[in-house]
Structure 1
Amino acid sequence: MGVSILLLLPSLSLGQDPGETGKARTLSKTIEAKNRVFQLTVTEAPSAPRDGEEVEFALKLTERVEGGFAAGEIPVENANVTIRILLADGKPTSSIISAHSEGGPGVYSVHHAFSEEGEYKISLVARTEDSTEIRADFPISVSAVPINYYVFVLDGFLLLITLGFLQIRYTRLDKQFSSSGFALKALAPEGLVTLTLLAGGILTAHYFIPIIQVRQEPQGSVAVAANESSEIVVPKETQVLFGIRTQVVQPSKIVSGVAANGIVRARPQFKGEVVVPVSGRTRWGARTVTVGDTVRSGEVIAVLENVLSASEVASLEATRTDLATKGKQLQSEATQAKQRLDLARTELERSRSLYDAGAAPLKRVQEAELAVKAAEEQYAAAQAGAQITGAGEERVTPVRTFPLEAPISGVITEVNFTAGQQVEAGKSLFTIMDLSRVWIEARVYEKDLAAVTSTRLATFEVPAFRGEIFSIGNDAKGKLLTVSPVVDPQTRTVSVIYDVANPGVRLRDGMFAEITIDTSGDREVLAVPQGAIVEEQGRKYVYVFLGGEHFEKRLVTLGAQGQEGAEILSGLKPGERVAIAGIYQLQSSAIGSS
């Protein structure tokens, strides 16, 4: 009999709340604030909540943008979203509750348990990063938890069967022994077993069929589900407008290995400064220059005028007087030498005339010619001395000038110069760098030193040109220059220096660089570009082109990662096409269609 009672249990309903699966309910409102249009969607799970039951509210906030490149429903990120639970008459029943970002861009989540049944409303306030305030109220009804009366019916049914069984057994025993006392004694063991089975059956029924009805809750976060969309439809003209491009997924070699931070540095031997040799006043050279101008080695950039002190000026004046006196003396000697030269030339003409007439010997002509030559030399020497003395007198001034020349050819990177400024000796006026080639200095941890020294290949990226990957190999574009033999005792890192070409001088001294030193060898893996990967809540997705106007947002598992691409371990097959440009617009389309 006890076995038959237990066999009845599987045939009965286990008491799940019929028709109540806890599915989500969605409410939407369009709100205008500061001449902008926002769409607020509240997803409530479970729908029709009950007292004592925790409810999750997923709040998705988007802004409607008309026209332009990013037209559509744009998620409002980094907003400060709070809610407050009010009774229908406006009386608050909770403190202000802050929502947290969950499930993707523009999606916020908050949890709350209602203690009593009744009519409530959610008062929501969202403040965007530009201080735009969005307010909205949403009604919500909370019902009492229903009682499962089936369990009481089952208890009564089990009790009736048990009592009926005991009554039948008592009647048979009473007839057998013709004595009620002997019948009760014989029935006692069976009655004890039967009542024990009855208690076990009731407990089992209450375990499988709770008095308070329960319902299955939806699996996973409502906020996450609110932001996921497996398939997206993007019209062809919109694809062209958004610049959406795709690429075939295929095995390829990706540069992956040791990641390190680095700095762009000018080569020390190609960095120079223009320094003031003596104190003085500055002025420009043949042209004015500024930061970014190119100069040649030896070009006069500026001129320094050095003004003498009072004692130096007095000494200079004495020198000038001596030079003037000597100059007059030499000028007088030059005049006398000129007179002697004229007399010598006159005597030479007379001697030649007499020689031609036969009145004078040849010796006299020769002596006259030697006298003219000697007089010419004396006159030239006296004249040169006078000119040198005059030039020296002109150069003796209280101001000396020093040309300031560029020590190397290159680009001016720093200017500390003002025309007419009084500067002291040793001050640097200009810094010049030849940035046609630069050094990339990476700091590598000592544990990675063996891997780094075994390869000469690397890539790097700088924030100024995000998305552009610079390659380093063994060619003229870039090469490994040196690995420092010293480990920094503070950071436990080793300096690894690469020499790279810098066409167009795009890389600047002091730029930050993110370097990946290639230790992957020649291994080819299924890979996609880094720009094709989207991260949401720690999970990685790509947008797969299904053909025509259809894209699929697909979860992928990544392996080795480089600056240009990432290895795909699962989620994609060779030959499929993924979006590599227009990703933000695909995300916006996914949110708008969800």
Structure 2
Amino acid sequence: RKARLALDMATQDRQRLEGLLSLEAIPERRVMEARNQEAAARAQLDAASKRISPYQGAKGGIALRSPISGQIAAVNSGPGAAISQGQALFHVANLSKLWLEAQIPEALVGRITKPSGAWFIADGHDHAEVIEEGNAGRLVAFGGVVDKESRTVPALFEFDNAEGRFRIGMFAQARVFTGTGEEVPAVPASAVFDDNGASVVFVQTGGESFERRPVVLGVREGNHYAVKAGLTPGERVVSKGAYQVKLAASAPASLSHGHAH
């Protein structure tokens, strides 16, 4: 735009001087100088046009090319707005892989040598996401400096987000795996009820008969709890509709018959 304005001004000046020359009001040298200035301005406009031609869009705009693939997460400008060199116009994010930043309290850092994975439940989501080394997830870094404000150390995990369920900046409740795994019975979190402070599940004893069974829970991993005591491998627990079974088991008829329908 600056080069085009300079050419327009040079053209107008040349035309004005040619009119004065026709009236013999100025020497011819002035007109020759104006023609040279007009030619120089036209050359500058041609050079500027060639510089921007590779970036011209179909509608005459300038195409901005992102150095990464992804989607536009934020727009920091608008049509017709003035911009300056170095100004951020767009925020492009690749959401196919995200990082979970788990803040580990200072008091617990000494128990952890190298986190082997994590699981988290993001705000607005009901189910947990599990991050395991070698299974579409990895530990990126385990911080070596305690934050002076929060007194925590960050552990960064990368995980797949191919379905786009999570967004950058979301908050989540997270748990970090700190040791080697062990084989123990596990039940879905939906099968466990808090009954006056006791963890309870309903075990199928046969047909439509179920038994209320207190259990001792271990750690939670994603959507499952480890069971330290109260269950043996192979026993079947109610995971869907367990609340209805609990209500039926509390009815007088079920108490007299010892089972729920």
TM-score normalised over the length of structure 1: 0.32
RMSD: 3.6
Name the % identity.
31
SS of structure 2 residue aligned to 1:577: coil
Q: Could you say which residue in structure 2 is the equivalent of 1:458?
A: 118
Q: Could you say which residue in structure 1 is the equivalent of 2:8?
A: 317
How far residue 427 of structure 1 moved from its aligned partner, in angstroms, is: 5.8
Residues 61-120 of structure 1: CA distance to partner in whole angstroms, max 9, x if unpaired? xxxxxxxxxxxxxxxxxxxxxxxxxxxxxxxxxxxxxxxxxxxxxxxxxxxxxxxxxxxx
**For the structure 1 residues 323 and 498, does the alpha-carbon distance in structure 2 shift closer, same or farther, using more than 3 Å as the test?**
farther
How far residue 437 of structure 1 moved from its aligned partner, in angstroms, is: 1.5
Q: Is the CA contact 2:100–2:158 (under 8 Å) kept in the aligned structure 1?
A: yes
Q: Could you tell me which of 425, 429, 437 is aligned with 2:97?
A: 437
Of structures 1 and 2, the one with the larger relative CO (CA 8 A, separation 6+) is 1
Q: Could you say which residue in structure 2 is the equivalent of 1:505?
A: 164
Structure with the higher fraction of residues in strand conformation? 1
Q: Could you say which residue in structure 1 is the equivalent of 2:237?
A: 578
Residues 328-383 of structure 1: CA distance to partner in whole angstroms, max 9, x if unpaired? xxxxxxxxxxxxxxxxxxxxxxxxxxxxxxxxxxxxxxxxxxxxxxxxxxxxxxxx
How far residue 482 of structure 1 moved from its aligned partner, in angstroms, is: 1.1
Q: Distance in 2 between matches of 1:394 and 1:478?
A: 54
**For the structure 1 residues 410 and 575, does the alpha-carbon distance in structure 2 shift closer, same or farther, using more than 3 Å as the test?**
closer
Q: Distance in 2 between matches of 1:423 and 1:411?
A: 24
1:561 equivalent to 2:220? Answer yes
SS of structure 2 residue aligned to 1:503: coil
How far residue 317 of structure 1 moved from its aligned partner, in angstroms, is: 3.1
Residues 482-523 of structure 1: CA distance to partner in whole angstroms, max 9, x if unpaired? 122211122221111112222122221011223222234132
Q: Could you say which residue in structure 2 is the equivalent of 1:540?
A: 199
Q: Distance in 1 between matches of 2:185 and 2:82?
A: 64
Q: Could you say which residue in structure 2 is the equivalent of 1:392?
A: 42
Q: Is the CA contact 2:128–2:222 (under 8 Å) kept in the aligned structure 1?
A: no
How far residue 541 of structure 1 moved from its aligned partner, in angstroms, is: 0.9
Q: Distance in 2 between matches of 1:468 and 1:560?
A: 14
Q: Could you say which residue in structure 2 is the equivalent of 1:288?
A: none
How far residue 444 of structure 1 moved from its aligned partner, in angstroms, is: 0.8
Letter in 2 for 1:540: S
Letter in 2 for 1:317: D
How far residue 411 of structure 1 moved from its aligned partner, in angstroms, is: 0.6
**For the structure 1 residues 463 and 546, does the alpha-carbon distance in structure 2 shift closer, same or farther, using more than 3 Å as the test?**
farther
How far residue 418 of structure 1 moved from its aligned partner, in angstroms, is: 4.4
1:412 equivalent to 2:72? Answer yes
Q: Distance in 2 between matches of 1:317 and 1:391?
A: 9
Alignment of 1:100-139 (within 5 A): none
1:478 equivalent to 2:137? Answer yes
- The structure number with the bigger radius of gyration is 1
Structure with the higher fraction of residues in helix conformation? 1
Q: Could you say which residue in structure 1 is the equivalent of 2:28?
A: none
Letter in 2 for 1:485: G
Structure 2 portions without partners, runs of 5+: 17-38, 47-51, 53-59, 255-261
Letter in 1 for 2:167: R
Letter in 1 for 2:8: E
Q: Distance in 1 between matches of 2:119 and 2:128?
A: 10
Q: Distance in 2 between matches of 1:417 and 1:448?
A: 44
